[in-house]
Structure formats: structure tokens, C-alpha cells
Structure 1
Amino acid sequence: MNDYEDKNIATIIACRLKSTRLPRKALLKIGDLTSVEYCIKNTLRFNNVKTTVLATSTINEDAELANYIYSPEVNFFQGEPEDVMQRYVDVVNKFNIDVFVRVTADMPFVSDEILQVLLKSHFDTKADYTIGIKAAIGTNLEIISSEALRKAKSFFPNADYSEYMSFYFTNNPSHFKLNRIELPPNLVREYRLTLDYEEDLILFNIIDEHLTKNNIEPTLGNLFHFLDANPEIAKINQSLIVKYKDDKTLIDTLNRVTKIPV
């Protein structure tokens, strides 16, 4: 028995249909599934997770996502459109969640391998916030305690930038116990596995075709094995930027507005 068997650990997947770079990307197909269903399918492989929630907004357009929850195991929730942190607070309160895995629907290749490393460390260290280091873009996960989320929200009645929720924790180390984990080398790569551009979608369909055609289990290890062996395929989307890493103006803004006042 582990230390968290009695906890209600949840996966909360944030998803909206608005997207400036790749419109309605959550409904674009990777193989036979929409990208949001592909993401959900992989989250349902997570061990030690009791509750899964697809959390979108109350805007009419986003109601369509109720048709793409993949499995009746998944709860559909509509909440605050822009204040994502408030949406998460409402989810953890409604479902009595103790700790949650934060996922966004543009991460189709999330893996249980990374989750188990982070989850064990989160509870071993009694952390508020846990994240891996050097994970491939789109494969990293965040583990957040619900009490820490409520505390963070209490400082930011209007968390206008909480689409970038991690900054509200990582910029406030005196308020939260932060836990950054060095991932095992087999789970670390420099690949880009998040869905923002057409090139990402092309790559993901090539990956899915390989896994499906060869009846290969969609583990991160198997995915990396394929990309390691086919560097020309891995390069399809390598030149694309990651907004929260490459946009200096945005980063400066986030660092300013997410710090709890002294």
C-alpha cells in the first residue's frame, strides 16, 4: 500500500475550442480520435488516479466538447472561461479532490511513466506543487495539492493569466513547497509533443500510424524509441516556438503579475 491510496487523486484536463494558431485544435484528428480524446485516452492509463475531469468553459462553443469525453468514466465540467484557476478550484470542490494532475488537452502523449515518478515524490516530500525537469515539451505533468490551489487563488481574485497556472506557484517559493524532480534519463528528450501548429499534427499522425500499424503500446518509452530511430521525422516540428518559453514580453508579464505581494 502506498501513502496515497486513500486520497482522491484526479486528472483535470483543461480544454477550450478557441485557438488562434490552430483553430478548434481539440477536435482535429490524430488517427481515429480527436486530439482531445487521444489525450483523455492516455490519461485513463494513469495508475492511482480515481477521478478524471474534462474542464472547459461555460461559453456556448465549448459545450460541444461534451461529445468528446471518450469514455463514460470521464466527468464533463463547464466553468470560468478565462480564470482557469477558478475553474480548477470549482472542479476540486465539486468532486472532493485532494490532489490533482494538471493536464491540457493539447498534450496527447501524456504518460503514466512520468506520472508515477512525480506522484511518489509529491507525497514523499509532502509538496504543494511538483513538476518534472527536462521532459519533452507536451509530456511533463504537474501535481498540485487542492489546498495549495485554494491558497493560491485566495491571493488572486482575478487570475487573468492562469492559463499559465504553474507561474502562480513557481514564482512564490516562500508560500508553497515546490518540488522539482529530475526525471530518469529514459523519460527525458528534447522532442516537441504539444499540439499548436499544423506540423505538430502531421508528426502526431505519423507517430499514431506507427504505433497502431505495429500494435505497439503507446508508452512514452515506445514513442521515444520510434523518434530516436527516425530523427528526420522528429525534426518535422522542431523549429516551432513555445510561447511561454520564447516570448520574452509574455514571460516578463507573467513574472510580474503572478507574484504574491509582500
Structure 2
Amino acid sequence: MKNNEHLRLVAIRDIRKGEIVTLSKTKLKQCTIDNTLTYKEGESLFPQVAIHDIQENTPLTRDLLEKPAIVLVVICRLKSTRLPKKALLPLNGIPSIERCLLNCVAVSQVKEVVLATSDLPQDDPLEHFTLGGKVRIVRGDAENIVSRMLKVAVETNANIIFRMTGDNPAASPEITDLLISEHLKNGTDYTRSQFSPLGTAGDVYTVEALQRLSQNPKPLTHTEYLPFYFINNPSLFSVNTVKMPSEYQYPDWRLTLDEPRDLEMFEQLYTSLDLKREPLFFDQLKEYIINNPEITKINKDVSVKWIDHDLLIKEINQATLLK
């Protein structure tokens, strides 16, 4: 019994600075350093983020760790051609990008919401969408989304970033919170959803993994398709695919804004719900669509830009396969 009192948590392997630390990355070992975490302390404390590189078998103390600092980043520009300046188009009187941001600020686990756009003059109108100071505007590289996200991380001291794209006016606060929880629980580099309706979910990145990606010697030419860099390089990045619970499994619903028929669908949706400047939660959205299934037929046949283009998919896969 006396020896058991000295069993404390140590790193089960090398842990990078900025990596999420979970109980699964620790083991119990005899340790006489008094401030080393006990298993009970680890259960209540983790997940945490490593402040420094931690070598295997290092006793884990609170001064090596910090709380996850999660920032939700909405990536948006005004360069769309199929539906020009779609982010500014009104949905029941409220611009589409504002609809997206209203949903994002309703997420409970994030410390800040940022609208990340380019530093080009054509994107100047997006500067106004601060929601009365609830949203920070960060401007950066027009093409390199990784660079823009890392700039946000520096300005907000984030160590976890949830990425949402600005063409999702029905972004789900509930699905976002679920994905964040799963990301922290599993301690992976990247987390994505499976079977959620298109346009309701974003994805989660550990900032340390984004930094490693940015330092890769291969030029990042296709960051618009950022998930492929993680999915196509399993030896470099850990990926967590979260199968949505049944209440969120409606993969046939198209709830993203890219084409005129999408605009028609969203205008009918928001007008029928009579939503003003307020978030749209998934339960409310689901109830309306189930009771009015004809609304999903408006844009059902609109295809995702890249998914049916074999040559483009081949190009993306080749470009995102890293050294």
C-alpha cells in the first residue's frame, strides 16, 4: 500500500509542445515528486495542452500543462463566381455571413469567434460583421488558409481551432460543440464529422498540427481543401472521424450556400421560421425540414463543386500528399 501512494502519472511517449494531453497518453509509475499528478487528479484535469515538449516517462505536473483555448474561425471571402458576393446576400433580411456568425457565437465551448478574411480590398465589406463586438476580424493571406488560421491563433492565443466556412448559414452550434468535445477527448490533430448534413458542420484542428503542416517542405497549394492534407497523410497526422449520433444523421440534406437554388432554399427556410438576428439551432432546423420535406428538394440536385470531378479529385490528392 505504501508503494501505491507513489504511483503518479507520467508521459507514456514523447508529447509535442501544443499537443492535447489526455489520460490515454499517460501511465502510472512510481514517482517521488510530490506535485506529480495522481490518477484521480488527471481524471478531473485532462484534457490539457502541453506547454513544452514532454519526453517519455516525464512526471506530469500542472506547470507543464495549460487549458485548451478554443477559437472558432469562420473562413470567408467575397470571390465567389457562381453566386457573386454570396456572403452578403440577405436571408430573411439578414446577410448570409451574419447568419453563420450568429450560429457560431452560440457555441458554448469557444472563447472567441473570429471572421478570417483576406487582406484584399475586395473583402473590405466583411470588416463590418463584428456582431457588435462579439466577433473579431482578422485579415491575412488571400489564398493560404493555413497561414490565415495560424495568424488567428497568434492573435487570440488559441491552441485549438474550429474551422467553419462562411458559406454555411445553418452552421449547427450543437454539432460544433459535439465535435470539439470529441476532439479534446481523443487528443488528435484533426477531427471531422461523418453523416451530418452538408453545411452544418466544420472541423477541428490542433494549432500544433497546423504549424507542422505549414513547415512541410512541399508548398501548400490547395488549402481550400484543407482536410485532405490531414486525411491523406496518416503517418504525419492523427485523424478522428466522428460518426454523428442518429439525431444529426441527415447526410442527404444540402444546407450550404453556393448556387442560386441554395439561396432560394435558405430564403424560404429563414422566412418560414421568421428568424431575426438570432441563432438557428439544429433541433429547430430539423423539426421544420421534417415537417416540410419539400424544402430540401429545391436544391437537392446541386452537386458539391469537386466531388463529381475525377480530375480535380486526383489533382487535390496529389497536391495534398506530403513528403
Whether 2:228 is the aligned partner of 1:167: answer yes
The one of 270, 280, 286 aligned to 1:208: 270
Whether 2:290 is the aligned partner of 1:223: answer no
Aligned to 1:94: 155
CA apart distance, 1:26: 0.6
Query: For the residues of structure 1 that align with 2:281 and 2:47, how far apart are their CA atoms?
Result: 24
The one of 63, 75, 82 aligned to 1:21: 82
Kindly tell me: are residues 110 and 217 of structure 1, through their superposed partners in 2, closer, same or farther at Cα, counting changes over 3 Å? Answer: closer
Whether 2:319 is the aligned partner of 1:254: answer no
Aligned to 1:150: 211
Whether 2:44 is the aligned partner of 1:44: answer no
Kindly tell me: are residues 175 and 235 of structure 1, through their superposed partners in 2, closer, same or farther at Cα, counting changes over 3 Å? Answer: same
After TM superposition, the structure 1 stretch with the greater mean CA deviation from structure 2, 165-174 or 61-70, is 61-70
Kindly tell me: are residues 156 and 14 of structure 1, through their superposed partners in 2, closer, same or farther at Cα, counting changes over 3 Å? Answer: farther
Letter in 1 for 2:322: I
Aligned to 1:177: 238
1:46-97 CA distance string (max 9 Å, x none): 0110011100011111122111232312111110001111111111122111
Kindly tell me: are residues 54 and 229 of structure 1, through their superposed partners in 2, closer, same or farther at Cα, counting changes over 3 Å? Answer: same
Query: For the residues of structure 2 that align with 1:20 and 1:213, how far apart are their CA atoms?
Result: 28
Letter in 2 for 1:52: V
CA apart distance, 1:206: 1.2
Letter in 1 for 2:259: Y
Whether 2:209 is the aligned partner of 1:125: answer no
The one of 105, 114, 125 aligned to 1:53: 114
1:244 match: secondary structure: coil
Aligned to 2:70: 9
Kindly tell me: are residues 160 and 71 of structure 1, through their superposed partners in 2, closer, same or farther at Cα, counting changes over 3 Å? Answer: farther
2:201 match: secondary structure: coil
1:243 match: secondary structure: coil
Large movers: runs of 4+ above 6 Å: none
Whether 2:176 is the aligned partner of 1:110: answer no
CA apart distance, 1:197: 0.7
Aligned to 2:306: 244
The one of 229, 234, 239 aligned to 2:296: 234
**TM-score normalized by the length of structure 1:** 0.94
CA apart distance, 1:207: 1.1
Aligned to 2:53: none
After TM superposition, the structure 1 stretch with the greater mean CA deviation from structure 2, 15-24 or 150-159, is 150-159
| Residue identity (%) | 33
Letter in 1 for 2:119: T
Alpha carbons 1:83, 1:162 under 8 Å: kept: yes
Structure 2 unmatched runs, 5+: 1-43, 49-66
1:1-50 CA distance string (max 9 Å, x none): 78469321000011101101100001000112110111000000001100
Letter in 1 for 2:261: E
Query: For the residues of structure 1 that align with 2:309 and 2:233, how far apart are their CA atoms?
Result: 21
Alpha carbons 1:211, 1:218 under 8 Å: kept: no
Query: For the residues of structure 2 that align with 1:16 and 1:243, how far apart are their CA atoms?
Result: 17
Equivalent pairs, count: 261
2:198 match: secondary structure: coil
Kindly tell me: are residues 123 and 104 of structure 1, through their superposed partners in 2, closer, same or farther at Cα, counting changes over 3 Å? Answer: same
Letter in 2 for 1:26: A
Query: For the residues of structure 1 that align with 2:306 and 2:159, how far apart are their CA atoms?
Result: 28
CA apart distance, 1:244: 2.6
Structure 1 or 2, whichever has the larger Rg, is 2
Structure 1 unmatched runs, 5+: none
Where relative contact order (Cα < 8 A, 6+ residues apart) is larger, the structure is: 1
**TM-score normalized by the length of structure 2:** 0.77
